[in-house]
């Protein structure tokens, strides 16, 4: 009987380990906040603020009960065309602007996770208690937040492992008193007994291994799909490196209203926006030798790069020292992106991808620039065809192709904007 108790405890341990993997995988797949940030936050805020789409504060109290919200997120077009009254009401309130179709893009489980996040909202912020050491004057902070459920599961596993060890000791003690077990059996180490147990339960172990493999594969898929949700080295969202010269976009593009194209002069003619040459800087700073914040210190670095002597007003090639600017926005080598296509033909503003640069003191990457983000933009961005000679012929073709579908505008995806070969070839 005692032996059966020990085996039962071992079964419980294996089951708990499996449960831990299941819950950790589920937590990754059902991270509604992360999925929301990746797919929804571009157009919706969790407050009353209206972005491209309406604010979502109190949305669960407004929408019809049941599976309506799930169906709306999955395929809003389908719900609108079905004649659903509330769906058409939302369409009318938002000037007939349709939402992206997520059917086939994210799973039903991910949609349910988003809905759970909408129900609960953001977790309360972490409370930081600040104290000052009376002797050293140093400030210490104590962050109080919730405990990760995974740590709780790991703690339970450790406790259960200790319990198994205790039960083995009790079993061995009782067996030695009752003389029902041989000395050889009592002397077996824990690892050997575990090995024998696994050999006797091969089917159970095999099923567990297959389940763990599938969970691991699912976890890898979710991790790759969610690349860019948080700031990390993979996407550099939020990346704000310190540049060799403290150049303020706010001062130049914002306060002084210098057009982006003046410094990035190849943006309308090339796939690259281009890094401004020192000559461009010297167009102004040959005369402007003192800045409003750093005085002559930072402008002197421009003179050093140009080999310019402000006292004599002369240049010397032997003193040139090119500025080593640090690139902020980087795309993988296998991705093709053309600035001129987006700025000139597509009539997109720089802020679409780069954020409000005019308010940035230090340039920062505001968007994840992942494939998901680009595809979502192509699905919701209307093609600027009106008065655009580049699209005259294409416009006529699309009107004929989608004749009868009552489409007044066309988004980029309707003209092949999400075909693989457009960006990867």
Asked whether the beta carbons of 160 and 16 are under 8 A apart, the reply is yes
Q: Where are the domains of the chain?
A: 1-43+100-226, 370-425
Q: Report pLDDT for 29.
A: 37
What pLDDT digit, counting tens, does each position of 102-116 carry? Answer: 877 778 888 888 888
Asked whether the beta carbons of 203 and 52 are under 8 A apart, the reply is no
Give the confidence band of 177 by pLDDT, cuts at 50, 70, 90. low
98 CA to centre of own chain = 23
Asked whether the beta carbons of 344 and 268 are under 8 A apart, the reply is yes
- Burial class of residue 233 (count of CB atoms within 10 Å of its CB; 0-12, 13-18, 19+): exposed
* C-alpha pair distances (Å), 108 with each of 29, 84, 335, 396: 11, 21, 29, 37
3-class secondary structure, 309: strand
Closest to 370 in 3D by CA, of 226, 218, 222, 217: 226
What pLDDT digit, counting tens, does each position of 290-337 carry? Answer: 999 889 999 999 999 999 999 888 998 888 888 999 889 888 888 999
3-class secondary structure, 115: helix
DSSP string spanning 111-128?
HHHHHHHHHH-SPPPPEE
Cα separation, 20 vs 232, in Å, equals 26
**pLDDT(406) > 60:** yes
Give the confidence band of 79 by pLDDT, cuts at 50, 70, 90. confident
**pLDDT(246) > 60:** yes
**pLDDT(133) > 80:** no
The three-state DSSP-derived secondary structure of 34-84 is HHHHHHCCCCCCCCCCCCCCCCCCCHHHHCCCCCHHHHHHHCHHHHHHCCC
Question: What's the rounded mean pLDDT across residues 397-403?
Answer: 78
pTM, 2 dp: 0.47
Cα separation, 285 vs 249, in Å, equals 15
Give the confidence band of 378 by pLDDT, cuts at 50, 70, 90. very high
Give the confidence band of 25 by pLDDT, cuts at 50, 70, 90. very low
Output 152 or 15, whichever has higher pLDDT: 152
């Amino acid at each position: 009987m005692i032996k059966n108790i020990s085996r039962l405890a071992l079964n419980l341990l294996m089951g708990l380990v499996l449960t831990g993997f299941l819950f950790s995988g589920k937590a990754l797949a059902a991270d509604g906040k992360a999925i929301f940030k990746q797919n929804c936050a571009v157009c919706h805020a969790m407050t009353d603020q209206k972005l491209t789409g309406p604010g979502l504060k109190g949305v669960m109290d407004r929408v019809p009960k049941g599976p309506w919200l799930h169906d709306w997120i999955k395929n809003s077009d389908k719900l609108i065309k079905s004649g659903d009254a509330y769906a058409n009401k939302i369409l009318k309130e938002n000037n007939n602007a349709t939402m992206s179709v997520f059917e086939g893009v994210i799973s039903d489980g991910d949609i349910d996770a988003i809905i759970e996040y909408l129900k609960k909202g953001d977790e309360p912020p972490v409370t930081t208690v600040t104290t000052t050491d009376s002797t050293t004057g140093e400030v210490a902070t104590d962050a109080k937040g919730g405990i990760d459920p995974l740590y709780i599961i790991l703690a339970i596993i450790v406790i259960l492992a200790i319990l198994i060890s205790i039960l083995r000791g009790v079993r061995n003690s009782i067996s030695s008193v009752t003389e029902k077990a041989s000395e050889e059996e009592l002397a077996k180490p824990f690892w050997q007994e575990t090995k024998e147990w696994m050999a006797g339960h091969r089917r159970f172990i095999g099923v567990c291994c297959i389940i763990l493999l599938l969970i691991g594969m699912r976890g890898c898929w979710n991790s790759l799909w969610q690349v860019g949700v948080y700031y990390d080295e993979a996407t550099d969202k939020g990346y704000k490196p310190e540049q060799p010269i403290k150049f303020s976009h706010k001062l130049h593009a914002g306060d002084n209203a210098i057009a982006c194209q003046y410094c990035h002069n190849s943006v309308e003619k090339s796939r690259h926006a281009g890094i401004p040459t020192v000559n461009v800087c010297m167009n102004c700073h040959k005369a402007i030798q003192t800045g409003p914040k750093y005085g002559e210190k930072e402008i002197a670095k421009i003179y050093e790069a140009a080999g310019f002597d402000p006292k004599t007003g002369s240049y010397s090639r032997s003193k040139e020292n090119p500025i080593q600017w640090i690139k902020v926005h980087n795309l993988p080598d296998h991705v093709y992106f053309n600035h001129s296509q987006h700025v000139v033909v597509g009539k997109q503003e720089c802020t679409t991808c780069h954020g409000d640069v005019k308010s940035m003191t230090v340039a920062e990457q505001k968007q994840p620039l992942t494939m998901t983000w680009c595809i979502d933009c192509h699905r919701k961005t209307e093609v600027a065809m009106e008065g655009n000679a580049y699209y005259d012929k294409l416009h006529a073709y699309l009107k004929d192709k989608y004749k009868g579908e009552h489409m007044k505008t066309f988004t980029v995806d309707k003209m092949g904007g999400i075909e693989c070969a457009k960006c990867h070839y």
